[in-house]
Structure 1
């Protein structure tokens, strides 16, 4: 049985995270997707004047319970040939190398595998349901589930986000590598577009009516590396204290960069936004690809690891973002 995550304070740097105990990369990713709580303690309504439906979020204790119920199965996947079933499932899905699709694939595997093993009550009725206006496609719904415990049809809309925060840490101040992407914009889109559906046509279960809607937003957030120098600030009431929180550094902040040990730093591969792949450390040493920068050569925007410490190098919003 794993220890419950401390809910009393922000988790600035996660050590001994439960997903780190697994050896195989996709199992580690799957454990992370389950053990990571929703970023939100409650849904924030950014469209109060529109006729939208109520949206709920699962608590951190809900996800902790799902992880604990699935721990034995995670161990089986990590130590037996059952791992092949997980890899085949993920790699046969569309665009498996995109982080959003990888997140959706991992959750979908858990839903199907866990339901078949009676480890949770959620039966998948449909996924990636296309929405139409006449003959024109206007969007899609991620997951339509039947909750056998509560006898409800639930719509889960998924998002995996890796956002850099800045004072005053409101939802609009958490932005992605693409600065047009922020938490407030994503939530508004989910509520006003994807969560408007009431009736859904499914291939095997006919037409079903949605009873409840859940926004499932996970990932990692990054605070400015000098946050402790900012004085007192109010921690967002809506941000789950146990959500993975790390650090980012402005690429022009020479003081902040000086606190990073460039001799052990390496650039992360795209998939490592989920969990770190240790074999890339060995390859980095073998290729002698140590990271360094100077006043004349700024570091590239992206995710890095200083040992096991994740750090994002990121430009201020006024700067040109590296593509």
Structure 2
């Protein structure tokens, strides 16, 4: 375990968000998808008895370097008509309103646009490769890339996760709004399903053999609101975005939240906040939609208190 971090340091980590400098929403999302580190410092093998392949993770330094290399291009997208190329790319993809597909679209745009501009060495060979069992589709592979620097075919499997944590803060203790979804379960699925593939058919390069596999899991994690000190597990990247969640029945926690500035977030704001929703915000109407029918507790979901994201979440899934 690393040393605990105190509350001032915790707040500094939350505020360290370079994507906030961009004005246009999809550019902010793209900057976030790049600058946010992988949640993992190392891959954890939750299926040691399965015949699976070694899985790597990119370091926080890797993603920071990619963000820096693409920074000028982000500014162009944020200040010129080139923004239209990004929006058209994202909106023509299947299910652009689903967070996972949006994340995949953002990284796919960066891969194609950045390679064309010689800002990174990753050439896209294939994406969304369907996996079959006979004639039945059983899954797909997200990205098959050729790394021109290392002369390797790489398989990148992507996940965007927004998980609430509880002690002892092991991967199984980080769960989503759907309580059946947790970090350990997602990693096990990736390892035993998608990462078993060895050969892939591509449109232009024929059949290629995967040389290296990367698990890319980004997003945001939320700590219980009463957490004053938190010790990072060795697997959790220290610069990964951390925020707070509050039990919807925790009266002591709820009174610390300024309800006069509370705003329910729109789904896309799990990525980055949209300021124009603040301008359209009517507190009385927003309050009505945020509270449950009996008006005794807030609905489960993401909120903003000013610019600070916070999740209201039931500690017990069935409560």
Is this a same-fold pair by TM over 0.5? yes
**Is the CA contact 2:179–2:317 (under 8 Å) kept in the aligned structure 1?**
no
Which secondary structure state, in structure 2, belongs to the residue aligned with residue 52 of structure 1? Answer: coil
Q: Is the CA contact 1:305–1:311 (under 8 Å) kept in the aligned structure 2? A: yes
1:163 aligns to 2:160 (yes or no): no
Q: Which runs of 5+ in 1 are unaligned?
A: 1-7
Matched residue, 2:10: 12
Please say if 1:310 is aligned against 2:309. yes
Partner of 1:235: 232
Task: Supply the distance in 2 between the matched residues of 1:191 and 1:15 (Cα, whole angstroms).
Answer: 33
TM-score for the superposition, normalised by structure 1? 0.92
Q: Is the 8 A contact 1:303 1:313 kept in 2?
A: yes
SS of 2:154 mapped into structure 1? strand
| 1:117 equivalent in structure 2 | 117
Shift of the 287–205 alpha-carbon distance from structure 1 to 2, 3 Å rule, reads farther
Shift of 1:289: 2.9
Q: CA deviation at 1:236?
A: 1.1
Preserved CA contact (<8 Å) 1:264 1:290: no
The within-5 A match list for 1:130-141 is: 130-141=130-141
Looking at structure 2, the residues matched to 168 and 83 of structure 1 have their Cα atoms a distance apart, in angstroms, of 43
Q: Given the superposition, is the C-alpha separation of residues 97 and 120 from structure 1 closer, same or farther in structure 2, using an over 3 Å criterion?
A: same
Q: State the Cα RMSD in Å.
A: 1.8
How many Å apart are 1:15 and its aligned residue?
A: 1.4
SS at structure 2 position matched to 1:129: strand
Alignment size in residue pairs? 310
Q: Deviations over 1:199-230 (max 9, x none)?
A: 001111100000000000000000000112xx
Cα separation, 2, equivalents of 1:128 and 1:293: 39
Task: Choose the corresponding residue for 2:250, options 239, 250, 253.
Answer: 253
User: Contact conserved, 2:121 with 2:147, CA < 8 A, in 1?
Assistant: yes
CA distance in 1, matches of 2:42, 2:137: 30
SS of the residue aligned with 2:281?
A: helix
Whether the 8 Å CA contact 2:38–2:60 is kept in 1: the answer is: yes
The CA distance in 2 between the partners of 1:108 and 1:288, in whole Å, is 38
User: What is the TM-score when the length of structure 2 is the normalising length?
Assistant: 0.93
Contact 1:168 1:233 in 2 (8 A): no
Deviates more, 1:9-18 or 1:308-317: 9-18
